[in-house]
Amino acid sequence: MPEQVQKLSAQTRVHLVGIGGTGLSAIARVLLERGIPVSGSDRAINPVTDLLEALGATIHLGHRAENIEGAALLLVTSAVKNDNPEIVAALEAGLPVMKRRDFLPLLLGGDTVIGIAGTHGKTTTTAMTTHILREAGMTPGYIVGSVMKNTGTNADGGGGGKSPFVIEADEYDDMYLGLTPRIAVITGIEWDHPDFFPTEGDMVRSFAAFIGQIQPDGVLIASADTPYSLALARQHESIKIVLYGRDREESDWFIHNLHTTPDGLTCFEAIERATLTAYPFKLKVPGAHNALNALAATLASAAACGVTFESAAKALESFESTGRRFQVMGEVKQMIVVDDYGHHPSAIRVTLEAARQRYPDHTLWAVWQPHTFSRTRALMSDYARCFSTADGVAVMDIYASREQPVPEVSGQIAAAQIAHHHPNAHYTGDIAATITDLKKCVTGKSVVIVFSAGDAIAVSAGLLADS
């Protein structure tokens, strides 16, 4: 690493290319709160960039070489190509150009890190861990993949000292390999991101490398419910391992007596297998998956800071989740509209199960905007079977994100595959057509969940608009 960026300081301006995105905007906020000058650019201005500008960042609309003037280094999003004029100018000037993986040691080198990884649940578990620590009187730094409702933001620089830094450890682009956590959580491992991990083996090897980054005196808290996470945990006996899940045989801690109360609360007991000691929990967020997230967050908080299970359970009673995680957007004409980030078959399945538990007397509709052509193609057999809990399924056009269209993969083809297993699944097309279709199809007491990691949140707004 060049000498001028061995340490961040008030004289080290960091320029972020793609500053308006979820990942880089969170880092930008942490930098600003720690007194590090920040500039950044993006193709569009949004509420996130407006907030960063209010905090002191210099924001540029569009990407131009002159934007990097005065910067000591560039931090770039994974979506940016190497021909970006700011990257070209930086390389010509001899400035370091880093991705998150490269930059995290510089940002968090002095922090006690709690890294929350896993194919599903890492955003909620990161937010829950942060909330527990804050309720325990600490001032943790944090980076979460969505805005926490309890704090109104997705990141904080933290209070330093003995307070840890809780970070969502993203497997995409091997971001988490830039971390050396004291405490690591793996909420489960299933194949995802086939554009980056061509095979399941590639992904498992990446998670194994992440476990290898844990400090020698650290702790791994891993789900016993997915074969890959269980197997990797069993292979790393040189560090302390705590297993949790629904599997009583394999788990050191497991959930028991899970149920939903008439007023919609998720209740369960966390049981330590060695002593059979039970701790009652009560959550506002629905479903067994969130009970498991709560258990993982409690174990992480206990391992990092000694927070008791009683204190954690009390803290989580006031946890309000994060944006786009079973987020109730509103209700119109007996139709409750929910926005959810779920874009993997397992995430969709457990969210629908949770919705059925929360709203047992409602008709349940799933609206799915497939996310990327590569994921849709690779996981299509699982998508075809994950909607069984829903009464109706509406399939939209694929949100391409960073990819180019693939002729043999489309929303219409995906809908036909699902229709082989579901009697009421059909293709709806783009956002406008989907809104029109649902307003005709959905009647009476109903819940509509819009599953999207793209722009289909506009469907929720359209359904709630007075028609």
Which tens digits make up the pLDDT trace of 115-138? 999 999 999 999 999 999 999 999
Please report the pLDDT score of residue 25 as a whole number.
96
Q: Binning pLDDT at 50, 70 and 90, where does residue 2 land? A: very low
Is the pLDDT confidence value at 175 over 60? yes
Please report the pLDDT score of residue 78 as a whole number.
86
Cβ(130)–Cβ(144) under 8 Å? Answer: yes
Burial call 211-241: b when 16+ CB within 10 Å, e when fewer: bebbeeebbbbbbbbbebbbebbeeeeebeb
Amino acid in position 39: S
Q: Domain map of the chain by residue range?
A: 3-100, 110-316, 327-464
The average pLDDT across 299-321 equals 97
Please report the pLDDT score of residue 402 as a whole number.
84
Active-site residues, by number, are: 122-123, 168
Pairing of strands 183-186, 219-223: parallel
Q: Binning pLDDT at 50, 70 and 90, where does residue 3 land? A: very low
Is the pLDDT confidence value at 183 over 60? yes
pTM for the model = 0.93
The average pLDDT across 265-273 equals 97
Which tens digits make up the pLDDT trace of 271-295? 999 999 999 999 999 999 999 999 9
Please report the pLDDT score of residue 161 as a whole number.
67
Residue 335 neighbours by CB under 8 Å, 6+ apart: 442, 446, 447, 448, 463
Which tens digits make up the pLDDT trace of 49-80? 999 999 999 999 999 999 999 999 999 998 88
Which tens digits make up the pLDDT trace of 16-40? 999 999 999 999 999 999 999 999 9
Please report the pLDDT score of residue 232 as a whole number.
97
The average pLDDT across 212-221 equals 97
Q: Binning pLDDT at 50, 70 and 90, where does residue 6 land? A: confident
Q: Binning pLDDT at 50, 70 and 90, where does residue 84 land? A: very high
CATH architecture of 3-100: 3-Layer(aba) Sandwich (3.40)
Q: Which residues pair with 338 in a beta bridge?
A: 328, 449
Q: Which CATH superfamily is domain 110-316 in?
A: Mur-like, catalytic domain (3.40.1190.10)
The reply to whether domains 110-316 and 327-464 share a CATH topology is: no
Question: Which of these ranges, 254-258, 402-406, 407-411, has the smallest mean pLDDT?
Answer: 402-406
Pairing of strands 240-245, 73-76: unpaired
Beta-sheet strand order (sheet of 165-168): 155-156, 141-143, 165-168, 113-117, 183-186, 219-223, 240-245, 253-260, 266-272, 277-283
10 Å Cβ neighbour count for 366?
Answer: 27
| Percent of the chain scoring above 90 in pLDDT | 92
Is the pLDDT confidence value at 169 over 70? yes
Which tens digits make up the pLDDT trace of 329-353? 999 999 999 999 999 999 999 999 9
10 Å Cβ neighbour count for 335?
Answer: 21
Calculate Rg over the CA atoms of the chain: 22
**What average pLDDT is seen over the chain?**
95
Please report the pLDDT score of residue 159 as a whole number.
85
Q: Which residues pair with 394 in a beta bridge?
A: 367, 426
Fold of 327-464: Protein-Tyrosine Phosphatase; Chain A (3.90.190)
Cβ(170)–Cβ(176) under 8 Å? Answer: yes
The average pLDDT across 179-190 equals 98
